[in-house]
Amino acid sequence: MVKFAQYLAHGEVAYGVVENNVVYQITTTPFEEYEVTDHTHPLDHVELLSPIYPNKVLAIALNYVSHLGKTGAAPRAQPEKPEPFWKSSGAVIGPDEEIIIPRDAGRVEAEGELVIVIGREGKHIPKADALDYVLGYTCGIDVSARVWQKGDVQWWRAKGSDTFAPLGPFITTDLDPSKLHLITRVNGEVKQEAPTSDLIFDVPTIVSFISEVVTLEAGDVIYTGTPGIPPVIEPGDTVEVEVTEIGVLRNSVVSDE
């Protein structure tokens, strides 16, 4: 198991491997051959960035039974196939960055999710081989503006407004994605909690299904869906998403003034 961070230190962006709250800079990126250097920083001395700024951000709707019919913006029936949608890559932000609630957005919710990080290019990936194409996993918040999600033809702003795709803090490799635990908190209070074994469509099924029509590339990410009832967020709130062996992604919420 390796934990990768992307960070800013002394004005330079780098990738590193995190062990015992120390980050060891690596020579390239997690998506290439790399060597771990002896150039280190205490974790709390660097500014963590999103562990990846992806070309493609996909997300799966309706992927926990506990979530079906809970948003007022989605049908209640359990889907018979994965239901991916696009989020904007421009919406990605890192740990501790602010989620900006757009003017006139109305009700906005924070969906805590396990996020797949693709490790290498593939198309028509068989389900049995799918995990070979996954580098690791991170935490994500699928920020969702419900009025727009329900009323617009497309989810371009409901799911793709600036800052609506927080990711981080780390990419952790070699996890069993069916044996993780997801928790979402707002201002310290637990709002969502589920084992990832509850996913209706598991990680190999999702990767295989998407790759039938979309070439997945190193660094692309797939949000896997959210359980239960996602919390409403408002300016002044702090949202945390925690996943086993990955860590806590924390973002504060502000209004677009």
Residue 88 backbone class (left: φ over 0; alpha: ψ -120 to 50; beta: rest): beta
Residues that bind Mg ion (CB under 5 A): 111, 142, 226
Q: Residue 133 or residue 155: which is nearer to Mg ion going by CB?
A: 155
Separation CA 165–CA 159 (nearest Å): 8
Nearer to Mg ion, 111 or 242 (CB): 111
Minimum CB–partner distance for residue 225 and Mg ion (Å): 6
State the nearest-atom distance from the C-beta of 246 to Mg ion, in Å: 17
Whole-angstrom distance, CA of residue 141 vs CA of residue 225: 10
CB of 159 to Mg ion, least distance (A): 8
| Minimal distance, residue 205 CB to Mg ion, in Å | 17
Closest-by-Cβ residue to Mg ion is: 142
* Euclidean distance between CA atoms 117 and 38, whole angstroms: 26
At closest approach, how far in Å is the CB of 35 from Mg ion? 37
End-to-end CA distance of the chain: 42
Cβ closer to Mg ion: 5 or 233? Answer: 233
Identity of the residue, 31 or 202, whose beta carbon is nearer to Mg ion in the bound complex: 202
Q: Which residues contact 178 (CB under 8 A, 6 or more apart)?
A: 196, 197, 199, 202, 203
Which CB sits closer to Mg ion, 3 or 146?
146
Indicate the burial class of 20 (C-beta count within 10 angstroms; 0-12, 13-18, 19 or more): exposed
